[in-house]
Structure 1
Amino acid sequence: MTSTPPHQSILDKPFVLDLFAGPGGLDVACHRLGVPSLGIEWDRSACLTRYAAGLDTLHADVSAVRRESFESLPPEINVLAGGPPCQTYSVAGKGAGRKALEEVKEFIGRLMAGDPDEEIDEKLRNLSDPRTALVLEPLRYAIQATRSPNRGHRPYDVIVLEQVPAVRALWDRYAEVLQEIGLPDGTKYKVVVDVLATETYGVPQTRSRAVLIARREGLGEPSLPGATHRAYEAKEWNRRNAGPVQATLDEHDTAEAPSRSAKDEPDHWVSMRDVLTERKTPFLVRSNYGSSGIPGRRGVRTDRQPATTVTGRISRFVVFEHLDDDIVHEGPRFSMNEAGMLQSFPPDYPWSGTAQAQQVGNAVPPLFGAHLLSAALGLPAPAPTTMRKPWIPATEEQRAKLRSHGCGVADDCTARCPRPE
């Protein structure tokens, strides 16, 4: 079997269904690539952000759509994407994580064997943590597509999934069954799985993601996106996890900015300063990511480095400014637009609703998502400058139309929308 030539799309008209779509990371990537998408999102505030951004959305529970309204989805959708919540599985390596993995493996086997949905749902209700069932949804959607009269029983051509590194073992299992066993109708896929670093794709942030790219047999061998930037190495910057702020700022002032690499080598990673250009004063960021609340473990980085992993606690990151007269003081913390830019969202993305920091932290970095989708579809790799172009928000009329489709009425949620509890 020959691979598809570079930069030649494997699909005439790709159309992405984005499960667990959040505020729109993958959908922004689709928009920049000129690929239509539809996102399914449970959280009300994330949907408000999506409506404001002009993204097609269903305010719904992913599982409920599969069970109750799959036939209403556009039949031309041929790409399945998303990152299911995996909190119960992310403790892999410990007792709870291994137990969750074994549960998932058992249900994957039953799904691929074609067991009735009703029987599987009954068993899933007995799980110690119902969120474990959500990691099965991409596979269940893939199977449901082959059973859909509205689609002509046509399977998805491409599947793209991403999550935290601990989910690598789950994606490996997905790959095994998709390649060796196939869906109940006999459809098989070629699959690649790996853990990738987002800064190696131009995202101004160190964030590792476990990814899966699958192509239906006959569409060529899938491949991972090629890195465009170098990996960030903390040792090169003598990163300190604790110690006086002034000493770290002094190191910041004397450090040399990374030089440009040779033409045949990847570019250097992108720093916070490169994207947060409105901040004219050199700054230092102290985050509590991975600190378990222990001050001595807090990470410290200067504006010449990429950000640490942006999480839902990004609004708690403390920013210190270093003035010309060697005075150090606490400056303004990151705005939501700045936090979004560290995730590679456009500078003027219309964050809306509540818990905006959580929306930002949970999102797929759009630039990274664009690289994944480009590799999956055989499209040219996106340019970072393209991703940073101004974002045109939806007009009030457009928002009303999007919400009428996504929630049921133009200005509110309805009974069909998920309830917060």
Structure 2
Amino acid sequence: MKAIELFAGAGGLGMGVSNAGFTPQAVVEWDRWCCDTIRENRRDGLGWMGKWPEPTEGDVRGVDFRSFEGRIDLVAGGPPCQPFSLGGKHRAHADKRDMWPEAVRVLRETKPKAFVFENVKGLTRESFATYFSYIFLQMQYPELVAMGDEDWPGHLRRLEQHHTGHRGSHGLEYRVIHRVLNAANFGVPQRRERVVFVGFRSDLDIEWAFPRETHSLDALLWDQTRGTYWERHEVGKAHRNLVGRLGDRAAKLADQPSALAWRTTRDAIGDLPDPELAPHKSARYDNHRYQAGARSYPGHTGSPLDEPAKTLKAGVHGVPGGENMLLRPDGSVRYFSVRESARLQTFPDDFRFHGSWSETMRQLGNAVPVELASVIARSVKRHLAFGAADFVQ
């Protein structure tokens, strides 16, 4: 099946989509460092990325997608999230970085069978509720475009009227659902909440639901109190720190949970040498170097080893201190290396990143975890392949 990858970044979402069996026909990204990252891994033939086309480096607003009309099964991407980030300036529709109109334009020009778009949880904030509705209705009816100098509230009103008044199918239409997903609940060693939109073209009459969560906190608590978690990692009793220090919750678990345990930071990086304490061993791994300067302060205390990591963040001016740090059991902190951060985002170890440490961490902070993308894309692909409700999860 064929796909288009928009706002590709370092390629996390695109790799997940490719792992699910889609072959990108176009990859668009404006940032040169991200494009260099994609180019190198494409040139090295890394997994599915070896089948990617040369990335289109530049502003998506200058790319014409009409030649792909009727030839694309899936459009995927994460429109730049700065206008909605909890850590940003919250300008939303007044921000020129808002690329949602371009994402909708690509739907209009290519008419794909389905799409997957991802964004920060902040998009669902109450203060953005009206604009959220505007985005949602545009995805449902991408051919109902703004007219002349019509402002977005006026366009929203017309979309609402169309939505409540139309009968049957009139032009291009998608059935769209959304949900805020925590990547930790799908096997990613990171507490990372994002809103995901999935839409199927209405004429396909496909019934779909988000895949069931496979991992849980309770299962991790069980593994740490009654399972083999500590023995597997060869951690002595004096150094065992129950996830979140939730002893009372763990004690109330009467039966072993059916889900798999949340994956922890130790699960993800425990076999890597510490780049500060063992720099010579660390040098054997790509992008695994010690970065000095980490410090802990209120609200920035790092990620404990025996919990999923906190959300990796890109930051507006460099890397925010606490969110991208490891908190060791002895209370000391250090920055995650690029390789460790890549593991927390479930990139493969042979994936290489271009740019300085801060630039590379920005790429990772903006990325979609590869495994989360794979889970969603595999489900979408199954439904496109069989086109019935047999695979509703």
TM-score (norm 1): 0.61
Q: Verify: 1:225 aligned to 2:211, yes or no.
A: yes
Q: Verify: 1:295 aligned to 2:282, yes or no.
A: no
Q: Secondary structure at the match of 1:16?
A: strand
Q: Which amino acid aligns with 2:190?
A: Q
Q: 1:208 aligns with which of 186, 193, 197?
A: 193
1:49-86 deviation digits (Å, cap 9, x = unpaired): 10111143211211111xxx334558632211111113
- 2:57 maps to 59
**Higher relative CO (CA 8 A, sep ≥ 6), structure 1 or 2?**
1
Contact 1:320/1:330 (8 A) holds in 2: yes
Deviation at 1:199, TM superposition (A): 0.3
- 1:157 maps to 113
Deviation at 1:138, TM superposition (A): 1.1
Q: CA, structure 1 residues 232+162, in 2 after alignment: closer, same or farther (shift >3 Å)?
A: farther
Q: Secondary structure at the match of 1:296?
A: coil
Q: Which amino acid aligns with 1:156?
A: P
- 2:17 maps to 30
1:291-326 deviation digits (Å, cap 9, x = unpaired): xx992222344211110001122787444555xxxx
- 2:174 maps to 189
Deviation at 1:175, TM superposition (A): 3.6
1:182-204 deviation digits (Å, cap 9, x = unpaired): 63471211111111101001110
Q: CA, structure 1 residues 70+256, in 2 after alignment: closer, same or farther (shift >3 Å)?
A: closer
Q: CA, structure 1 residues 143+204, in 2 after alignment: closer, same or farther (shift >3 Å)?
A: same
Q: Verify: 1:89 aligned to 2:87, yes or no.
A: no
How far apart are the structure 1 equivalents of 2:13 and 2:346? 11
How far apart are the structure 2 equivalents of 1:300 and 1:315? 8
Q: CA, structure 1 residues 88+280, in 2 after alignment: closer, same or farther (shift >3 Å)?
A: closer
Deviation at 1:157, TM superposition (A): 0.6
Q: 2:261 aligns with which of 258, 268, 280?
A: 268
Q: Verify: 1:40 aligned to 2:6, yes or no.
A: no
- 1:360 maps to 364
Contact 2:219/2:256 (8 A) holds in 1: no
Deviation at 1:230, TM superposition (A): 1.1
Contact 1:202/1:270 (8 A) holds in 2: yes
How far apart are the structure 2 equivalents of 1:303 and 1:30? 29
Q: Which amino acid aligns with 1:190?
A: R
Contact 1:230/1:268 (8 A) holds in 2: yes
Deviation at 1:224, TM superposition (A): 1.1
Deviation at 1:156, TM superposition (A): 1.1
Contact 2:37/2:354 (8 A) holds in 1: yes
Deviation at 1:161, TM superposition (A): 0.6
Q: Which amino acid aligns with 1:229?
A: H
Q: Which amino acid aligns with 2:351?
A: Y
How far apart are the structure 1 equivalents of 2:217 and 2:242? 17
Q: Secondary structure at the match of 2:115?
A: strand
Contact 1:314/1:357 (8 A) holds in 2: no
Q: Which amino acid aligns with 1:161?
A: F
- 1:111 maps to none
Matches within 5 A, 1:253-332: 253-255=239-241, 265-279=258-272, 295-312=297-314, 313=319, 317-319=324-326, 321=328, 328=330, 330=332
Contact 2:206/2:383 (8 A) holds in 1: no
Q: Secondary structure at the match of 2:215?
A: coil
Q: Secondary structure at the match of 1:160?
A: strand
Q: CA, structure 1 residues 350+254, in 2 after alignment: closer, same or farther (shift >3 Å)?
A: closer
Contact 1:318/1:330 (8 A) holds in 2: no
Deviation at 1:17, TM superposition (A): 0.8
Deviation at 1:24, TM superposition (A): 0.5
Q: Which runs of 5+ in 1 are unaligned?
A: 1-13, 105-126, 146-154, 237-248, 284-292, 323-327, 381-421
1:112-161 deviation digits (Å, cap 9, x = unpaired): xxxxxxxxxxxxxxx5x3223x121111111122xxxxxxxxx2110111
- 2:345 maps to 343
Q: Secondary structure at the match of 2:362?
A: helix
Q: CA, structure 1 residues 49+74, in 2 after alignment: closer, same or farther (shift >3 Å)?
A: farther
- 1:138 maps to 103
Percent identity of equivalent pairs: 26
Q: CA, structure 1 residues 160+263, in 2 after alignment: closer, same or farther (shift >3 Å)?
A: farther
Q: CA, structure 1 residues 200+301, in 2 after alignment: closer, same or farther (shift >3 Å)?
A: same
Contact 2:189/2:264 (8 A) holds in 1: yes
Q: Which runs of 5+ in 2 are unaligned?
A: 43-48, 145-169, 223-234, 244-249, 277-294, 385-393
- 2:3 maps to 16
1:195-224 deviation digits (Å, cap 9, x = unpaired): 110100111000100111000112412211
RMSD: 3.9
How far apart are the structure 2 equivalents of 1:357 and 1:233? 30
Moved over 6 A (4+): 232-236, 249-252, 257-264
How far apart are the structure 2 equivalents of 1:63 and 1:276? 39
Contact 2:176/2:199 (8 A) holds in 1: yes
Contact 1:17/1:39 (8 A) holds in 2: yes
How far apart are the structure 1 equivalents of 2:308 and 2:67? 43
